[in-house]
Chain A
Amino acid sequence: MLTIEDIKTLIKELDSSSLSELKLEAEDGKITLRKADAFAGKVKTIVEAAPQTTAVQAPSAQLEPQSNTSAEPAAAEANTDADPSLHKITAPMVGTFYSSSSPDADAFVSKGSKVDKKSVVCIVEAMKLFNEIEADCKGTIVDVLVEDGQLVEYGQPLFLVKED
């Protein structure tokens, strides 16, 4: 059985690792720890069916969600799950999401923008390598799931596209 101290240790370990999520299952229950950065600024500590444990707050200051964004990712997640027919443009690497080519330029795309395969939709940057992400499909952007300047994880959905 996991003690609170065990869970605290796990959170610390997860925090300093490159993992974004940790799931543990035992006879007496299961626990899921997910980093804030791993999903659009949302801190999640889910403890399921384990009467011995209580929910623990993620300890790191870095992982605190920005208050104005915390509600949106949940909606995005629901949206993603709700309509599997939408094409997801995902992050090909860990890095920072930029919606425009420079701070004073317009966003590459926004909700309602028409895109085709070669349309640049955003930039993901890591270690000063800039990766222009192309839509890779033809259609209309129906949702932008992340904000300019946000850290994104490998495989994280960035945009939802309704394909033509």
Chain B
Amino acid sequence: MVQRVEHSTKGAILKLLYTHNDQFLSGQWISEHIGCSRTAVWKHIQSLIAEGYQISSVQKKGYKLIDAPMGLSEAAVSAHLTTKVIGRHICFYDAIGSTQKEALRLADEGAEHGTVVLTNEQTSGRGRLGHTWQSQRGTNIALSLILRPELPIDQTPQLTLLTAVAAAETIEKQAGLSCGIKWPNDLLFEGKKLVGILTELMAEATYVKAVVIGIGFNVNTTAFPDPIKSEAASLASLTGKQFALAPIVQQFFASFETLYQLYLSEGFKKIRPLWEKRALNLGKQIKVRQPGGRVLIGTALGINDDGVLRLKKTDGTIANVYSADVEWD
């Protein structure tokens, strides 16, 4: 079964503090609510304070959460979650090699639809074909989402475009930045990458067992190392502000869930205009670099109702592109 890491008395107390962070909670009320002694409540509060949580403690009133250490916790994300399914089961690790690898393992063991693996620090994050994704402790978001879609295999790639739309909405709502999407699922702001998405399918013959979507948001990184400086940006580097991570995660879950429901009931044709609205370089000349060294040059016409990129080549014919890296000058 699914391993629930922070599923402890301390975690439960923290979640209560997050949920009611606008008021004081008495030790008595907490102990009754959770089913532990008042002494246990006091001990766990002291332990949370030692971890860096600022908890105000007032005689006759009780405890109130003032501030939390940098980063995420299961309690912080689940306390004000509005979704029905996405993120309702969180497997939180303060540090882990790769959320994606763990999510694939959990999916194989039967983790349910909507389960999320979340961490404060990825020590060996996986990217597409060996690319790595930076995630220092508590500064950025790295998570992997397990889905059990009842879809034919050939439709599952559409989920990558849907995820990009959900991430773009998240950034717009949380940071007020309007990102563009580079086909199929890169999120860019002024040419710099803000979000990385890696989607993997687990299938058996024609049956989809699970889709695991790994997503990394660059949030509070202020200085990128030289080789990626010109290619990467964060919400902090673009706005000059630091962001709390939990609301961004919650917003992503909410945006994703809404789009996913729309997709299941109405099909990709409803996602397509949302994607195209944010698409970069529609109607402009692009270079399509395909695996195996083939390069196509032409005008990006958009995507079709399957999510396939439509390119009008220089000879006037139209190519359907299923797999490529898009570039432009």
B322's partner among A62, A95, A101 (CB-CB below 8 A) is: A95
Assess the B200–A130 pair: CB atoms within 8 A: yes
B323 touches A151 (CB 8 A): yes
Contact status of A62 and B206, CB under 8 A, knowing A129-B201, A130-B201: no
Query: Are the CB atoms of A126 and B323 closer together than 8 Å?
Result: yes
Which chain B residues in 35-93 approach chain A with CB under 8 Å?
none
Residue B267 CB within 8 A of the other chain: no
Do B197 and A149 touch across chains, with their CB atoms under 8 A apart? Answer: no
B225 within 8 A of A: no
Q: Tell me how far the C-beta of A114 lies from the nearest C-beta in chain B, rounded to whole angstroms.
A: 20
Which residues of chain A have C-beta atoms less than 8 A from B306's C-beta? Answer: 18
Chain A 1-42, CB within 8 Å of chain B: the 1/0 string? Answer: 000000000001001111000000000000000000000000
How many of chain A's residues have a CB under 8 angstroms from any CB in B? 37
Q: How far is the CA of A35 from the CA of B200 in the complex (A)?
A: 28
B-contact 0/1 string along A121-134, CB 8 Å cutoff: 00001111111101
| Cβ–Cβ < 8 Å partners of B322 in chain A | 94-96, 126-127, 151
Among B198, B293, B319, max chain A CB count under 10 A is at B319
Query: Any chain B CB within 8 A of the CB of A150?
Result: yes
CB B72 to nearest CB in A, in angstroms, measures 25
A62 touching B313 by the CB < 8 A rule? yes
A44 CB to closest chain B CB (Å) equals 18
Q: Which 6 residue pairs are nearest across A and B when measured between Cβ atoms?
A: A149-B292, A102-B130, A127-B157, A149-B291, A16-B318, A96-B323
**Which chain A residues have a beta carbon within 8 Å of chain B's beta carbons?**
12, 15-18, 59-62, 66, 92-96, 98, 101-105, 125-132, 134, 136, 147-151, 154
